[in-house]
Amino acid sequence: MRKQIARAGSMPRGSQNWSFPAVFLLLVVCIASLTGEITPAAEESERFLQALRERGYLDLALDYIEQMRTSPLCPESFREVLDYEAGVLLIENSRLGGTLREKSLEQAKERLQQFIREKPTHSRVSEASFLLANVAVELAQLKKELAAQPGKTPEEKNKLLAEARQRFQEAQKAFETAERRAYERARTLEEEAKQNPRKEVERDDARRDLLRARLSLAGVIYEIGKLYPQSDPNYRAELNEAAKRFAELYEKYKDFTAGVYARLQEGRVRRDLGDPKAAIEIFKQVIALLQGVSGEERSVVNEAVHELIQSYILTKDFNSATALIDQWRDQVRPDEESSGEGLRVHLSAAQLFMAVAASQKPKTQEHTRAVARAREHLNFVTRFPGPLQREAGQLLSQQLFGGASDPSEPTDFATAKERGDTAWGSFVVFVGQLNAAPTPQERQKLQQQADQVRDEALRFYRLALAMRPNDLSPDEMNLLRFRMAYLYWSQQDYYRAAVLGEFLARNYPQNLLAKQAAEIAVKAYRILYAQSSAPREERDFETSRIEKLVTWMNSVWPKERETIEAYMMLLDTAVDNRDLAKAEAILGQIPEDSPRRAEAELRVGQGLWATFLLESSKESEVRPSAEQLAAYLQKARQLLEQGIGRMKSSFDESKPVEYTLAFSVLSLAGLLIENGQASDAVTWLEDPQIGSLVLVRKNDPAADRSNFRVETLKAALRAYVGTGQLEKAEGVMKELEVATSAGGDAAAAARLTQVYVGLARQLQESLRRLRQDNKLEEADRLMRGFELFLTQIKSRKEGNTFTSLNWVGETFYNLACSLEGGSPGEKAKSQEYYKNAADTYVGILRRIRESPDFAPANAATGIQLRLASCLSGLRKFEEAVKILLALLRQKETRIDVQVEAARTYQAWADAEGRAAFYTLAIVGGHEEKGRKLMWGWQGVARRVQPYPQYQSLFHEAWYNIALCRLNQAQRETEPKRSELLRQAELDIFRVYQLYPDLGGEATYARYDALLRRIQRLRGVRDAQGLQAFAQRGAPVGKSL
């Protein structure tokens, strides 16, 4: 009678790819923790641990083990095996699957290694060694499964396969150690058993361990071989070695079932070596050897039948396969048929008949018969839940069987769910294939297919829910909920995705999918926030949902990956809401060692920097204090440096730089430049690994994102000028020209001009800020640096283009503007810069006259406009007005000229206190041919009002109307003064009534500051600015 090596029941999950040693793993796990002694002490540790395990409280069992480490109640014998027991539990825990699988296995490995290390002579070391080897196998399997997932790039796949190979090799070493140990033990016990029959049981155990180790070793070698491509010589080498070992094991142990199993394995290997005929003979032999067996040996028979069918399909021996299937069906018992191996036989049979059908002409009797038989086998498999059910369902949906799923509506829960599951399976596959789609057309096609099956899955799942039975287990219910939440997300129905995800997470937090469901919910709420058209301060619903959910997630799953992700969403929301105190508090919740910490720091740092820029540009009445602004800046710098430092420390030079990092370095450089620390900015820009300038010059992919290249070059230019490295600055100017002319088109010059204009304005802002923060030395240094640079450029004999000279003029102009309201010394400097700018523009105009190609068409108008601005700055208002009126005569509708004209008269009125000029600025003048040539601010506002793209200009106009009235009022006496002030307030109120947001935060703040001044001058004690409008309605004394 064949001796059995007992198998432990149904195959563990994933065993179809690693069928053999995993069987033993289950056996080992079952017996491993039951062989301990019953403790005489009152703490019944083993019994309690077993009870926790049986109840499914694996997490608590692990907690218990940890508790026992320091508990005075722990029996010594149990204390010795704590790490071993923890290892066993963690292996069980990994069987629950999901994202915890790898982590649990790694932890199991650590624990078992620790046990072996610390207790080398303990009786369980042998078991622990086997377990350790099998953990390595499971980890290898995991990597193999990940590599097989759709959507992986070839590099990712190869990396995972290499990792799998490494793990299998670890397992190989571990099994070799186990084999050596078992061999020694068996040899010793052989001798002892001869003298003492009571040792026979131990001897048999040792023999079993030896066989187990050898079988496992052969299996691992087989697996290692399969990881190589078939064309790789290692593939054949490893498989040959595996076949040889299996053959030896069969020869030595043919009286044992395990020996016959080794023969079955040898058959598989032979087939994989391209010798299906040899494999067929082997499988037939196995079936014959196990003829008439019962019990667990039947599963070996069924495996052999399955393998034989597969081999017949390969050799196209359909007749033999059909005969085999018919014979099997006659003999198989019902319980066997629905076992894992039985279902596999049915699936193979279906595949066989599908191959038969493919070999026949369609619509022939043979074809129809083959299809019918295939369908019959597949329908059988679909009755039993599991991975094979899904596989069978997907095969049934093929065209061969009539195409898509049965069009009739399901009438019960099981059918509805099954169809939903089939659609879900297809959805997952299509989504996986999307990433690897080679062309946009292919991608579009896959997307359409994915959308279709997604909608189908949702429909069937909704139906299933409506028909669910009362005794449906919570786990099944929650799986449906999770999938639906994910499908809603894919459908962009974020509200439903959020509601369902949150429900699952909060009500079933210990469910395996709870964390992922919570992650879906919080991200969905975040998208709802981002998509909301309501003003930021009114997005309370989304903000509060995110906050509450994140707080709860932290209470249940502190420090878990999903909770950290949720905190990132909350942090983003806080930054968007400009609630930086909260953002900083949230940052504190993200652990220092979290992989997201760096990104979080950068986000908050950028938020603080943006806030600094916004707040510092506000009018003095509403601008925060210098200390507060300095605090923003300091904190922003600290966080940016910290975040960059973190990312840099884990930087892999072989990979491209992440855009987040590259952008953050640029932001930091910008901050430093603004803070007058140009040399620090240069250091960052030139960092050999992550410097933005270095990346741009290396043509790193990050440089192609958005406007990164141009912004980097602008920053570099400012930094070099700020540090007096003028040659480098000139070099960057050339690079800027190249960058903006990349398209080679005529608009390139205009782009470059825009860049320079933007650069000049940035400079103006920087200087204003530096002065505001009383950083006079830095401001001076910056100014002198630019002055020197600009002069150098201007006075070049060669190489100057319209664009470069225009930039010089523009920059001098902006420098002048920035110094206008300063000290007498600064005012004098301002005049000097206006003069330089004017000279430059005159020079440009001269060159245009000499050579019309020097500048783009119509560029002269813009230059003249700027010249007029310079003249206005130099208090030469009359000359300025002349130029402007001449331009208006050419084209009255030039808005920029109209605006400059109004501005000029306003400045003239301010300078000389002439009321008539205020009126001209406001209402326009210079009638010619019965119409006002100059519109004034009111005319400008009226004409641009209908056009959303001119909204900022509209507000600029009305702001200046109110400002004109205020300034005029200050020069008048009563009652004119009061009247003007009242009128000014009314102007703002009218605009507020039409546009309560007043064009956005920045203009709102300007209006607010202006209104407060007006209110104070009107004698309002508590000048509330625009808030007074919101509360009271019309200003006091509305009637005119």
Partner 1 sequence: MKLRQYGWKCILQSVFPLGLLLPFLASAPFAWADTVRTLSASITGKVVEATSQKVIVDRGQGRIEEINPHLVDMIFFDDEPSVLRTAKMAVAAGRYEEALTALEKVQLPENATSLVRQELEFYRSFCKARLALGTSDPQSLEQASEGLSQFINQYQNSFHYWSACELLGDLLTARGDYASASQFYGRLSKATWPELQMRGLVALGRTQLAQKKFSEAAKAFDDALQIQATGPAADRAKTAATLGKARCLAERDEPDQAIAMVQEVIKNTPVEEASLLAEAYNTLGVAHRKAGRTKEAILAFLHTDLLYFSVATQHIEALDNLVSLFAQVGQRQRAEEVAKTLRERYKREPSG
Interface positions with partner 1 (CB under 8 A): 40-44, 47-48, 51-52, 55, 57, 60, 63-64, 67, 71-73, 474, 507-511, 555-556
Strand partners of residue 932: 927
Beta carbon nearer to partner 1, 60 or 146: 60
Cβ of residue 700: shortest distance to partner 1, in angstroms?
46
Beta carbon nearer to partner 1, 43 or 621: 43
| Token pair listed for 587 | 């940052």
Q: Of 380, 397, 398, give the one whose Cα is nearest residue 389.
A: 380
Beta carbon nearer to partner 1, 291 or 510: 510
Residues 302, 342 contacting (CB under 8 angstroms): yes
For residue 186, the tally of other CB atoms under 10 A from its CB is 20
Strand partners of residue 934: 925
Beta carbon nearer to partner 1, 555 or 706: 555
Cβ of residue 45: shortest distance to partner 1, in angstroms?
10
Q: How far apart are CA 710 and CA 247, in angstroms?
A: 69
Specify whether the backbone of 160 is left (phi greater than 0), alpha (psi in -120 to 50) or beta. alpha
Q: Is 535 exposed, middle or buried (0-12, 13-18, 19+ CB in 10 A)?
A: exposed
Cβ of residue 64: shortest distance to partner 1, in angstroms?
5
Cβ of residue 514: shortest distance to partner 1, in angstroms?
9
Element (H, E) at 933: strand 931-934
Beta carbon nearer to partner 1, 73 or 323: 73
Beta carbon nearer to partner 1, 74 or 661: 74
Cβ of residue 67: shortest distance to partner 1, in angstroms?
6
DSSP 915-929: HHHHHHHHH-EEEET
Output the CA–CA distances (angstroms, integers) from residue 45 to 75, 81, 548, in the order listed. Answer: 8, 11, 40
Query: Mind spelling out the 3-state secondary structure of 935-986?
Result: CHHHHHHHHHCCCHHHHHHHHHHHHHHHHHHHHHHCCCCCCHHHHHHHHHHH
Beta carbon nearer to partner 1, 45 or 389: 45
Beta carbon nearer to partner 1, 531 or 551: 551
Q: How far apart are CA 382 and CA 432, in angstroms?
A: 24
Q: How far apart are CA 901 and CA 957, in angstroms?
A: 12
Q: Exposed e or buried b for every residue in 125-146, given b needs 16+ CB within 10 A?
A: bbbbbbbbbbbbbbbbbbbbeb
Beta carbon nearer to partner 1, 473 or 1031: 473
Cβ of residue 93: shortest distance to partner 1, in angstroms?
16
Q: How far apart are CA 600 and CA 592, in angstroms?
A: 10
Q: Of 670, 594, 591, give the one whose Cα is nearest residue 633.
A: 670
Cβ of residue 52: shortest distance to partner 1, in angstroms?
7
Beta carbon nearer to partner 1, 42 or 581: 42
Beta carbon nearer to partner 1, 556 or 614: 556
Q: 931 by DSSP, 3-state: which?
A: strand
Q: Exposed e or buried b for every residue in 341-365, given b needs 16+ CB within 10 A?
A: bbbbbbbbbbbbbbbbbeeeeeeee
Cβ of residue 51: shortest distance to partner 1, in angstroms?
4
Q: 230 by DSSP, 3-state: which?
A: coil
Residues 18, 141 contacting (CB under 8 angstroms): yes
Beta carbon nearer to partner 1, 56 or 386: 56
Residue with tokens 């600015």: 1025
Cβ of residue 693: shortest distance to partner 1, in angstroms?
50
Beta carbon nearer to partner 1, 47 or 931: 47
Beta carbon nearer to partner 1, 426 or 478: 478
Cβ of residue 814: shortest distance to partner 1, in angstroms?
59
Strand partners of residue 308: none
Strand partners of residue 931: 928
Cβ of residue 654: shortest distance to partner 1, in angstroms?
43
Cβ of residue 509: shortest distance to partner 1, in angstroms?
5
Strand partners of residue 928: 931
Cβ of residue 112: shortest distance to partner 1, in angstroms?
23
Cβ of residue 477: shortest distance to partner 1, in angstroms?
11
Q: How far apart are CA 1032 and CA 1040, in angstroms?
A: 18
Helix-strand-coil split of the chain, %, nearest 5? 75, 0, 25
